[in-house]
Amino acid sequence: MLTSGCPSDGSLRAGLDYRIVERLCSLEAKLESLIVLSGSKLEAEWIDRKSARTLLNVSDRHLYDLIADGTIGSDAIRNVGTVKKPRYRFHRTLLLNQYHRRA
């Protein structure tokens, strides 16, 4: 995350043009808001196993066969559970791209 570099005292502003400092502070605030928005958008891209099956219109077994065959690569899959009890999440865009590139 960006740290606030906007000066609060007049010592730095005396040497710099006030307009430049104000503009930089404005740009910094806008960049921080974009970073927050992009992070929430990326989290929305991850879907559960049931949603992935519905999206691809495949059975549970077929989904696991696609993973085992390498059709769906590891960059599209994330285990948010444990080793003994895995709970997979699938990246929506990567999953669709990899599934449609098969054949």
Interval 69-86: pLDDT, tens:
888 888 888 888 898 988
CB 33 within 8 A of CB 79: no
CB 49 within 8 A of CB 88: yes
Is residue 47 scored above 50 in pLDDT?
Answer: yes
Q: Give me the chain's average pLDDT, please.
A: 79
Percent of the chain with pLDDT over 90: 14
pLDDT given for residue 15 in this prediction: 61
Question: 51: which residues sit within 8 A by CB, 6+ positions away?
Answer: 90
> What tokens does 99 get?
């599934």
Return the axis-axis angle of helices 49-56 and 60-69, rounded to nearest 10°. 90
Q: Which residue has 């740009």 as its token pair? A: 27
Is residue 61 scored above 80 in pLDDT?
Answer: yes
